[in-house]
């Protein structure tokens, strides 16, 4: 068996706060192969950003703490490590782009200089080489008049252009993995479409893998090969994009889909919100974190955390309903529970 | 159905000095019928919120008219005008965090409107606030708490109670769900539709989520750079968009369905929404439009009927 490009196992992250310890990530496992796109999807506070920040060494410690787990890039541990075989992990092996490009860039440095800086620091480029490379990169992310734009400052760029500049910076050292944390959330839909197209084109050109963090199931459907659905610090469903969308096997995934309007011209279902709100991660429930909101919850759900059960080839769900001995074991859940279909 | 709001050639320009003016709302005309929900979509900077605020008198009108039932609303509101109209025309704001005063209790926030309008005694206002908290799915005991004790979805419910306690006829909902998580969006949208129906409200529902606007609204209006480019029944606008901009907007909206997304040919158009300062003659979308003709750069298109919709485009 080949080793995956990135393998994260049993990752636990906590934060100390005045109110107590927040268990933000409570045992996350996933892997990604070269050239593939994994979407990590979930609502605010589910731990999706903390998971990748922990991998990248971006968690301030204290107050943060990685209490357990490991992350391996081509088999080598990267947690708490800054370079692998002389190559920086952050920036060189793994590139990252963030939701808000305006606050992620230095307002007092020209865009071109900001892209050139890592090339000079990490790659030993000369000033002139790095500048030329920065212009080429801006051109690669389809910024018109790249050489003029390279001399401009962040305030002179629109949100979509800044995100392109961020992408140029992230891919400058040819990473094998690009992590995009809500890259289009702050952008309008037409600009979002441009950025998503760009990410896919760059992936085809360079063969890099992409981890896309988002809360938007539409973006997931457009981009992902594999999907991990997170809830309250854990992955509750994992599988191919088809399995997760068409054979949803965790009640939370089913609930998320039912809470969104359909785009079907013929049928328009009633929106069914997920009642209640996610649990308090200061003291997560003993059993399944979703049990209190779940229309299918049983006694065992409140007493014991559910394991990850296989529901198909490479399709997993963290739900007692999917236990091999469960009499209910449905192939693809329906809404059920309260009310009528 | 009779018209509740008539908007005629409404303009709102912001003067930047040095002869520069932002055309935030440029010559917009349409009607909103009683009990109708009009969804207003467009990208940031297209003037959606400015239009909503101008309708309510929160911005002065540069030119044009807004008629509410038989009355022509003043171009510039004075305090007596607010007292006169604010009861009947209310607003629900986008950001549930910054739109509630953190130093007031929830009960004070909700009762402030009735108190300022002299509608109720303190005791009555208190009772009504409790009742409204219940109607929006919270508990009357929450009255003595402060906004920071509530989640985003709960705060948005408080914002709804604050607007509706005055028993308005017309409510501008300015991106009421954009700041909320998917599962909570559905809670708030369902609450708004229930209240709209039971109270017979007329809504202008501003949003950028096209699927949600289609779900909520009767008609959809599309703005680009201050101009209204298309308005019509939601399904007509969503499934047979006529204006090239609406077509791009609909095609850019990702659907939560991997199969249809796979089949989708790349839809992105080049370029970005230009600056609304000193907009040139002609159609505002011409610079990005895949179907632009010579005439588009010369003359500004006006709304023309195309089947059930009105479209401002020289193609029709």
pLDDT tens per residue, range B154-212: 899 999 999 999 999 999 999 888 878 888 888 889 999 999 999 999 999 999 888 88
A245, B261: Cβ pair inside 8 Å? no
Q: What distance in Å separates the CA atoms of residue B180 and residue B189, rounded to the nearest whole number?
A: 11
Reference A229, options A177, A274, A282; nearest CA is: A274
A159-169 burial, b at 16+ Cβ within 10 Å, e below that, comes to bbbbbbbbbbb
Q: Does the pLDDT of residue A334 top 60, yes or no?
A: no
A202/A235 same-domain check:
no
pLDDT tens per residue, range A162-198: 888 999 998 888 889 999 998 888 788 888 888 898 8
pLDDT tens per residue, range B241-265: 999 999 999 988 888 888 888 887 7
A238/A204 same-domain check:
no
| Mean pLDDT, residues B97-108 | 92
Q: Which residues of B touch A141 (CB under 8 A)?
A: none
Whether A143 is covered by a domain: the verdict is yes
User: Closest chain B residue to A157 measured between Cα atoms?
Assistant: B272
Confidence of residue B132 (pLDDT cuts 50, 70, 90): very high
Q: Does the pLDDT of residue A81 top 50, yes or no?
A: yes
Confidence of residue A289 (pLDDT cuts 50, 70, 90): very high
Whether A273 is covered by a domain: the verdict is no
Which of A197, A224, A251 delimits the end of a domain?
A224
Q: Which residues of B touch A44 (CB under 8 A)?
A: 181
What pLDDT is stored for residue B193 in this prediction? 92
| Mean pLDDT, residues A282-298 | 90
- Give the DSSP letter of residue B76: S
Q: Which two tokens stand for residue A54?
A: 């922990």
A159/A308 same-domain check:
no
The total domain count for chain A is 2
pTM over cut 0.90: no
Range of the domain at A241: 228-262+280-341
What mean pLDDT is reported for chain B?
90
Whether A270 is covered by a domain: the verdict is no
Whether A293 is covered by a domain: the verdict is yes
Instruction: Express as a percent the part of chain B with pLDDT over 90.
Output: 61
Whether A275 is covered by a domain: the verdict is no
Query: What's the distance, Cα to Cα, between the start and end of chain A in Å?
Result: 45
A103/A172 same-domain check:
yes
A257/A202 same-domain check:
no
Confidence of residue A1 (pLDDT cuts 50, 70, 90): low
B252, A241: Cβ pair inside 8 Å? no
Instruction: Express as a percent the part of chain B with pLDDT over 70.
Output: 99
φ/ψ region of B18 (left if φ > 0, alpha if ψ in -120 to 50, else beta) reads left
A145/A27 same-domain check:
yes
User: Closest chain A residue to B212 measured between Cα atoms?
Assistant: A261
A73/A213 same-domain check:
yes
A217/A235 same-domain check:
no
* A163–chain B nearest CA distance, Å: 13
Confidence of residue A228 (pLDDT cuts 50, 70, 90): very high
- For chain B, list residues whose CB is within 8 angstroms of any CB belonging to chain A: 43-44, 151, 153, 181-187, 189-190, 208, 210-212, 214-215, 235, 239, 248-249, 251-261, 264, 266-270, 272-273
Q: A13: domain CATH number?
A: 3.40.50.300
CB A223 within 8 A of CB A196: yes
Q: Does the pLDDT of residue A339 top 50, yes or no?
A: no
What pLDDT is stored for residue A226 in this prediction? 95
What pLDDT is stored for residue B161 in this prediction? 94
**Three-class SS of residue A158?**
coil
| Mean pLDDT, residues A36-55 | 91
The segment with the largest mean pLDDT, out of A62-76, A150-164, A220-234, A257-271, is A220-234
What pLDDT is stored for residue B266 in this prediction? 65
Confidence of residue A336 (pLDDT cuts 50, 70, 90): very low
A31/A167 same-domain check:
yes
What pLDDT is stored for residue A8 in this prediction? 93
* Residue predicted with more confidence, A1 or A140: A140
Sorted by where each starts, the structural domains of chain B and their CATH numbers stand as 3-88+174-182+201-311 (3.40.50.300)
A189/A208 same-domain check:
yes
Q: Does the pLDDT of residue A120 top 70, yes or no?
A: yes
A218, B254: Cβ pair inside 8 Å? yes
Q: If you search the block for the tokens 């509530």, which residue do you land on?
A: B150
* Paired strand residues for A71: A8
A181/A74 same-domain check:
yes
């Amino acid at each position: 068996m080949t080793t995956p490009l990135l393998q994260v196992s049993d990752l636990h992250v906590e934060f100390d706060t005045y109110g107590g310890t927040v268990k933000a990530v409570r045992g996350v496992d996933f892997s990604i192969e070269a050239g593939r796109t994994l979407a990590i999807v979930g609502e605010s506070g589910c731990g999706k950003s903390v998971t990748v920040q922990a991998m990248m060494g971006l968690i301030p410690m204290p107050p943060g703490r990685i209490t357990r787990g490991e992350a391996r890039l081509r088999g080598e541990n990267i947690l708490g490590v800054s370079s692998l075989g002389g190559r920086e992990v952050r920036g060189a092996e793994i590139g990252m782009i963030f939701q808000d490009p305006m606050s992620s860039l230095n307002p007092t440095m020209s865009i071109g200089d900001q892209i050139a800086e890592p090339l000079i620091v990490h790659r030993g480029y000369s000033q002139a080489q790095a500048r030329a490379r920065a212009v080429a990169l801006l051109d690669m992310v389809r910024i018109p008049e790249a050489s003029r734009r390279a001399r401009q400052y962040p305030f002179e760029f629109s949100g979509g252009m800044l995100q392109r500049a961020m992408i140029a910076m992230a891919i400058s050292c040819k990473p094998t993995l690009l992590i995009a944390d809500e890259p289009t959330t702050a952008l309008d839909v037409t600009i979002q479409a441009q950025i998503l197209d760009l990410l896919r084109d760059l992936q085809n050109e360079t063969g890099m893998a992409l981890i896309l963090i988002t809360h938007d199931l539409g973006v997931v459907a457009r981009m992902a090969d594999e999907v991990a659905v997170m809830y309250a610090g854990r992955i509750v469903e994992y599988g191919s994009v088809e399995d997760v969308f068409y054979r949803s096997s965790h009640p939370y995934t089913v609930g998320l889909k039912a809470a969104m309007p359909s785009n079907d011209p013929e049928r328009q279902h009633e929106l069914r919100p997920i009642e209640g709100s996610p649990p308090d991660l200061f003291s997560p429930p003993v059993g399944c974190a979703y049990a209190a909101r779940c229309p299918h919850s049983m006694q065992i759900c409140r007493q014991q955390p559910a394991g990850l059960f296989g529901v198909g080839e490479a399709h997993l769900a963290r739900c007692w309903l999917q236990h091999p001995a469960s009499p209910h074991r449905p192939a693809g859940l329906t809404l059920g529970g309260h009310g009528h279909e | 159905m009779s018209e509740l709001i008539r908007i005629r050639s409404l303009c709102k320009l912001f003067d930047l000095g040095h002869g520069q003016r932002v055309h935030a709302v440029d010559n917009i005309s349409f009607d909103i019928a009683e009990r109708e929900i009009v969804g207003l979509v467009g990208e940031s900077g297209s003037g959606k919120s400015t239009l909503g605020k101008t309708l309510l008198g929160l911005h002065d009108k540069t030119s044009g008219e807004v008629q509410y039932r038989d009355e022509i609303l003043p171009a510039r509101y004075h305090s007596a005008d607010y007292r006169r109209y604010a009861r009947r025309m209310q607003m629900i704001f986008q950001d549930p965090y910054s739109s509630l005063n953190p130093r007031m209790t929830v009960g004070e926030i909700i009762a402030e409107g009735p108190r300022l309008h002299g509608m109720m005694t303190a005791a009555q206002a208190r009772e009504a606030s409790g009742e409204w908290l219940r109607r929006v799915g919270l508990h009357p005991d929450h009255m003595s708490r402060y906004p920071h004790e509530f989640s985003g979805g709960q705060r948005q419910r408080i914002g709804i109670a604050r607007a509706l306690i005055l028993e308005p006829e017309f409510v501008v909902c300015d991106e009421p769900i954009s700041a909320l998580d998917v599962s909570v969006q559905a809670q708030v949208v369902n609450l708004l539709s229930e209240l709209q129906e039971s109270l017979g409200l007329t809504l202008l529902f501003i949003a950028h989520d096209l699927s949600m606007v289609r779900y909520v609204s009767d008609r959809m209006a599309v703005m680009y750079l201050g101009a209204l480019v298309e308005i019509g029944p939601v399904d007509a606008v969503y499934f047979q968009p006529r204006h090239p901009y609406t077509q791009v907007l609909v095609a850019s909206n990702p659907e939560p369905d991997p199969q249809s997304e796979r089949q989708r040919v790349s839809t992105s158009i080049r370029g970005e929404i230009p600056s609304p300062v000193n907009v040139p003659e002609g159609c505002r979308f011409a610079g990005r439009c895949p179907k632009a003709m010579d005439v588009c750069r010369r003359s500004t298109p006006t709304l023309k009927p195309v089947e059930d919709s009105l479209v401002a485009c020289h193609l029709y």
